[in-house]
Amino acid sequence: DIVMTQTPLSLSVTPGQPASISCQSSQSLLHSDGKTYLYWFLQRPGQPPQLLIYGVSKRFSGVPDRFSGSGSGTDFTLKISRVEAEDAGVYYCMQRKQRSTFGGGTKVEIK
Amino acid sequence: QVQLQESGPGLVKPSETLSLTCTVSGYSISSGYYWGWIRQPPGKGLEWIGSIYHSGTTDYNPSLKSRVTISVDTSKNQFSLKLSSVTAADTAVYYCVRGGGFDYWGQGTLVTVSS
């Protein structure tokens, strides 16, 4: 199984400030088809997760451009350029190179 | 707008079989995509259970494979999950999802395993 490790476990951010979450996979997520199957989700309290980023850096429909994804191989990052109150929740990375496994989550609190 | 809605019993006895159905609206299952199930124990993270293609091809989490069956009914635009021999460890919110990238999610349904 591919293990996904997220850091930090939690962070507290002032509105308007940037935030960054890291995700590391136990093996490269570069598939033989040339694609990298790395995704990011946000789960707001009491809600199902929602897709933010797919294919490392592509924003899903309706996702604000303050969210960006980057990385390659085994190391990936989700950045929020200017955090807003609605960005509070738990962020998960996920790989789909080999079935699907999720990171443990990063809780983002807004100060 | 694609919508998914889980349905099924909220309480299942230990050793019995958990059965859930996901009804899809706004998109025809037979048009494509994988359709899957993910669960989240209370206060914990996400675990992929398995997925099914509209043709019936399935893929399961190896840790659950011996107990899981996912099936599809294209005539009703539904797909279903069966998890056998449940224990308290299977207590979770169960979500149905679309695609390998999980772009659409149901609201989730809490299933408690208890006698």
pLDDT in tens, B24-49: 999 999 998 999 999 999 999 999 99
What does the pLDDT average to over A22-50?
Answer: 97
> How far away is chain A from the Cα of B14, in angstroms, using its nearest Cα?
26
- B60, B102, B105, B109, best to mutate vs chain A, most A CBs in 10 Å: B102
What does the pLDDT average to over B103-110?
Answer: 98
pLDDT > 70 in chain B, percent: 100
- A54, A100, A102, A107, best to mutate vs chain B, most B CBs in 10 Å: A100
Contacts of B100 in chain A (CB under 8 A): 37, 96, 100
Residue-averaged pLDDT of chain A: 97
Say if B107 is an interface residue toward chain A (CB within 8 Å): yes
Query: According to the model, what pLDDT value does residue B54 have?
Result: 84
Query: According to the model, what pLDDT value does residue B100 have?
Result: 85
> How far away is chain B from the Cα of A65, in angstroms, using its nearest Cα?
18
- B1, B3, B46, B51, best to mutate vs chain A, most A CBs in 10 Å: B46
Contacts of A92 in chain B (CB under 8 A): 45-46
What does the pLDDT average to over A57-75?
Answer: 97
Query: According to the model, what pLDDT value does residue A70 have?
Result: 98
Neighbouring CB atoms inside 10 A of B60's CB total 20
What does the pLDDT average to over A107-111?
Answer: 97
Three-class SS of A13-60: ECCCCCEEEEEEECCCCECCCCCECEEEEEECCCCCCEEEEECCCEEC
CA nearest B84: which of B62, B68, B95, B72?
B68
Query: According to the model, what pLDDT value does residue B32 have?
Result: 87
With CB atoms and an 8 Å threshold, state whether A101 touches B95. Answer: no
Amino acid identity, position B64: L
